[in-house]
Structure 1
């Protein structure tokens, strides 16, 4: 068989290892669908990039929404636009969704990051996103309030995608919240067969945070070990998920190097990869072989354990749920997501005023 790059080879040889596209852009989805992707992720930052790339068409959408929603705020228009694009683009994945009875083929859309402290608002918006299309998945941040919202969303029949997550304590809390929600549904005789929750592990952002924190404290981590933190946390979370038979699957994201793809080949795992890295990895000389079962070198773990922030992320008891919101990588990512959302609103404002 002739493979269309290394990521296509991955999904053909290891169908349990799903590759997703970290975008809902038309070009990106079409490219990925030809190469076997089974899902896609988006958020206001990603959609903002799609809008800029597809601006001639999106300008027409924005102007139409402004005209047909005369009393709407820029926030209302921004979300109406994101809902419209997401609902439309989810149709590209619908054949995969139908083929796999809901277990694959979903498009994730994130709730408003500004509501990260308010479980009720996140749940309310999750229900709106869920209703956009049969194969929608709702991204909720793994904050203290987000964990509560995930249980309630799962109980409501919504497939969640936990985001802004970096640590084993978060992954366990997410999985347990989903299990509670599923248990409540089953006890009431409600269907759970087509639900497919995932928990995102933002590999590169964790590595970025551990490196930055170590540097700020005058520490110098071994350069090789410093690039394995996210991989180590993911493999530890994966071990716990398999031992405990959680329904939730792990989804890796925020690729910074080839390890962030190659080390998970062969695992029952999802990987969302942005368009730029998708093409880089496709053209790499890394062999496509099973590596999920290969542990991170002990010498790397020993080096990484010098970092308090890594220890918090790696150990199951490294943090309490109440401490999630204050973890450095969580703070940095939420700030970035909110800034990206504000940038999108500013773009809408130019057309409104």
Structure 2
């Protein structure tokens, strides 16, 4: 019998997380099946995922009405719904978490707070306490204002998933925030051996923005190469920093590396393979969070092999060529960051509107 291809990725050192979450997936037993049969090792959520979940299902309706009857506002109602789902999903991964530092489920702070350090810190701490699970992560975007929030929340002992990360310069700031947060915690006499963090690179969006520019400049042969090149360079930065003297001192006190996580790995260009970003970025001590359709496609079509450090000469040539033809990746990453915040604000606002509409539905609430 052929070994499951998703499980083979774990044997190569990579954890596969699911970039999807809804109540039906949890309650139907499908999530349990994915954990057992595919070796799924975690989940991520975001406002767009929750908007689809709540809009496309009646599974949330009764709880919405109950919370509305208790005079909760729409944002508070959303976070109660999300906390319920995240807790239940985290419980499904508890056995994995008990064995190793994996099995995490992530919940994002409000995208409206992306440019407000203090409010991000406040909400992150509130959500962490409400979730009351060791195997959850709070997602904080890698904006300029998010960097000090990441440092502070790490120092407070939270597990942090750094999201909306596009550029290598910003990545180095993220890693520094993680290490500084650990150092702050050590200085305060607090333990650091139970803190986990990941740095989530959003990949396909880079190619969506860069590829038309490459074509316009007469370099269509480079289509679909830039995001992978950026990820491979990020992994080299990861290896360098997490073998440095600075980290080794923290590791001696129980610290673990902040793993890199490949996000936005479903392909957006129909001319690319559905598993393009999974195949290219398999490597040890990494995570890939995939949409359900990509997970299914890889289960069927994948060819598991460690490739994350292959073709590094080509990576350098790609970066040099971008510079020569005038494509500025720092500017690209800033644009993507701004657009990413807006792309989460829109479904977040739509989600709150859906909750408002569902509050008005005449749904009988069963008496306990």
TM-score range (shorter-chain normalised) is 0.7 to 0.9
The alpha carbon displacement at 1:125 in A equals 1.1
Partner of 1:63: 65
* RMSD value, Cα: 2.1
Q: Which SS does the other structure have where 1:227 is aligned?
A: coil
- Which residue, 355, 358, 361 being the options, matches 1:348? 355
| Aligned partners of 2:93 and 2:104 also within 8 Å | yes
- Does structure 1 residue 311 correspond to structure 2 residue 329? yes
Partner of 2:160: 160
Change (3 A) 1:267 1:226: farther
User: TM-score normalized by structure 1?
Assistant: 0.87
The alpha carbon displacement at 1:52 in A equals 3.4
User: TM-score normalized by structure 2?
Assistant: 0.84
Change (3 A) 1:144 1:213: farther
Partner of 1:293: 309
- Greater Cα radius of gyration, structure 1 or 2: 2
Q: Which sits farther off after the overlay, 22-31 or 163-172? A: 22-31
Change (3 A) 1:283 1:37: same
- Matches of 1:251 and 1:266 in 2, distance apart? 11
Partner of 1:316: none
Partner of 1:112: 110
Change (3 A) 1:88 1:309: farther
Equivalence map 1:244-283=2 (5 Å):
244-245=241-242, 247-255=257-265, 256=267, 257-283=274-300
Q: Deviations over 1:197-234 (max 9, x none)?
A: 1000001111112235557xx434324x2212111111
- Matches of 1:219 and 1:92 in 2, distance apart? 49
- Does structure 1 residue 332 correspond to structure 2 residue 339? yes
The alpha carbon displacement at 1:303 in A equals 4.1
Partner of 2:98: 98
- Matches of 2:85 and 2:218 in 1, distance apart? 44
Q: Number of residues paired by the alignment?
A: 330
| Aligned partners of 2:117 and 2:145 also within 8 Å | yes
Q: Which SS does the other structure have where 1:271 is aligned?
A: strand
- Matches of 1:310 and 1:263 in 2, distance apart? 23
- Matches of 1:308 and 1:274 in 2, distance apart? 33
Equivalence map 1:161-240=2 (5 Å):
161-212=161-212, 218-223=216-221, 225-240=222-237
- Does structure 1 residue 52 correspond to structure 2 residue 55? yes
Partner of 1:22: 19
Q: Which SS does the other structure have where 2:236 is aligned?
A: helix
The alpha carbon displacement at 1:259 in A equals 3.0
Partner of 2:252: none
Change (3 A) 1:333 1:302: same
| Aligned partners of 2:55 and 2:351 also within 8 Å | no
